[in-house]
Amino acid sequence: MHEDFETDHSLIRMSGTFDGLRARRLEAMLARAEPGASLRVDLTQIREFHDFGIAVLAQALTRSKAQVTLLGLRRHQIRVLRYFGVDTAPLERAAVADEA
């Protein structure tokens, strides 16, 4: 099986399709993070996002004790996260900066 996660101590890189299974794997990684840890999740190489995966991600973000920064989300994914109660202001600023 192709490994779609690349990790070091503060960066998680993902590629391929972000579906429910991959979202659950990311959720487990975030749950294991130390409280107060600073993590970046690089989603720039994701070619397809499933809305269910984004819903799982929203739950993981609200439960995580770590400070999580997401990279590479598109406007639709940001909007779905907002619908699920995630503060998306930093993500929206990054999306605007990427389009400029």
DSSP-assigned states of every residue in 16-34: EEE-HHHHHHHHHHHHHSP
Whole-number pLDDT of residue 11 = 92
Whole-number pLDDT of residue 91 = 83
- Asked whether the beta carbons of 61 and 30 are under 8 A apart, the reply is yes
Please state the φ and ψ torsions of residue 98, each to the nearest 5 degrees. -65, -30
Tell me the per-residue pLDDT of 36-62, one tens digit each, with 9 for 90 and over. Answer: 999 999 999 999 999 999 999 999 999
Domain 5-94: CATH superfamily is: STAS domain (3.30.750.24)
User: How far is Cα 35 from Cα 30, in angstroms, rounded to an integer?
Assistant: 10
Whole-number pLDDT of residue 3 = 45
Whole-number pLDDT of residue 99 = 52
Regions of the chain short of the pLDDT cut 70:
1-9, 94-100
The domain spans of the chain are 5-94
**pTM of the full structure:** 0.81
